[in-house]
Amino acid sequence: MVDMDQLQQRALQELEDVGSSEGLEAWRQAYLGRAGELTTALRGIGQLPAAERPAAGQRANQVRQVLTSAFEAREKAIEAQSLAAMLESSSLDVRLPGRPPSLGHLHVINQVLRDVYAIFAQMGFSVFQTREVEDDTTNFQMLNIPPDHPARDMWSTFYTTTPGVLLRTHTSPGQVHAMRQFHPDPFRVILPGKCYRYEQVTTRSEYMFHQVEGLAIGQHITMGDLKGILEHFARQMFGPERRLRFRASYFPFTEPSAEADVDCAICGGKGCQLCKHTGWLEILGGGMVHPTVLANGGYDPAIYSGFAFGMGPERLALLKYGINDIRLFYANDVRFLQQFG
Ligand code: DAH
């Protein structure tokens, strides 16, 4: 039988000289592996006289425990050493602050749109999405704008090569789609989306822009309801002390029609560059849905009434953030857009 004391001593001594994980593995194979010295010795115990076996077995198992825990300790020490060596030799300094990946964010117009949705949701309006490509009938005629109507001049338009098909010039044709979908129930919706007009691009107009249309249809709806919801909207959007004023206006699809202004948040109504020294900023058009439009949507104007309005989110953003050029929104200059992250 092998001398266990001598085996243990030799193994421990060799282990002390091991300096790498490869050396460690070789040592493990030599002593504790399947063909290792200790394993072989353990196997040899079976050949001993029966009386010697228990003592020999016990001693061999002690040695196995000693060698195993010595191995584990050495393994840990070698790992720590090699980590320290790596940190020493490489230029990675884990104490330096990391470089955070740059995160994107919603475009400022989408943020404004979501603000608008949230404010109208409080008042029971849901969002109704309709098409961006319209026909002449829905974009104009159903809204009380016949082919020879002078109001068409305001909406000089992108026509497609298919006769009568155009990019919508406003979200108002969505009113007809909504009425036909909800008829004969009362309802209130907002209709957001992109609109297109063939226009000279200036600081105040773009050929693509957004609108949010509003439409409420039911019985006994009045201009007072329109004023009330718009006032609530303006205060939520621009601050609780904002005032709203209505001016008489004209749209073919509403009667009576109005335009609404908020008092200028920058100068508080005293007059400044942003409000062109009037103290007021126009934010939307609206009015009571014209009886002809109600009928085109399937609602009997003798029984039903409704209000409608249309506003431009780009315009709201200009006012809210005091921006002076609408072209900045779509010029894709990240230095501008990042301010709204
Ligand atoms: N569609 C109009 C425009 O593009 C805005 C508008 C005015 C919408 C009055 C309405 C409304 O619903 O009642 O200028």
pLDDT of the residue at 242: 84
Q: How confident is the model at residue 309 (pLDDT cuts 50, 70, 90)?
A: very high
**Cα 211 to ligand 1 centroid, rounded to whole Å:** 9
Q: Which protein residues touch ligand 1 with a CB less than 6 Å away? A: 170, 172, 213, 251, 254, 285-287, 308-310
**Which residue is closest in CA terms to ligand 1's atom 4?**
170
Say whether pTM exceeds 0.75: no
Pick one of 3.30.930.10, 3.30.200.20, 2.30.30.220, 3.40.190.10 as the CATH number of 108-340.
3.30.930.10
* Percent with pLDDT over 90 in the chain: 66
The ligand 1 atom nearest the CA atom of 214 = 12
Position 257 scores a pLDDT of 98
Phi, psi for 135 (deg, rounded to 5): -105, 160
Q: Mean pLDDT throughout 129-138?
A: 96
The average pLDDT across 82-104 equals 84
What pLDDT is recorded for position 202? 78
Q: What is the pLDDT of residue 65?
A: 93
Q: How far apart are CA 329 and CA 321, in angstroms?
A: 12
93 or 245: which carries more pLDDT confidence? 245
Chain segment 15-32, per-residue pLDDT in tens: 999 988 899 999 999 999
pLDDT given for residue 177 in this prediction: 98
Task: Give the H/E segment covering residue 253.
Answer: none
- What per-residue confidence (pLDDT) applies to 227? 95
Residue 267 has pLDDT above 90, yes or no: no
Identify the residue with better confidence: 183 or 326.
Answer: 183
Q: Give Cα 297 distance to the centre of its chain.
A: 35
What sign does the dihedral 264-268-269-271 (CA atoms) show? Answer: negative
C-alpha distances (whole Å) from 51 to each of 2, 26, 39, 48 are 17, 35, 21, 8
Measured distance CA(84)–CA(91) in Å, rounded:
13
pLDDT at 82: 86
From the CA of 195, give the closest atom in ligand 1: 4
pLDDT digits (tens, 9 = 90+) for 34-57: 999 989 888 888 888 889 889 888
Locate the domains of the chain by residue range.
Answer: 4-90, 108-340
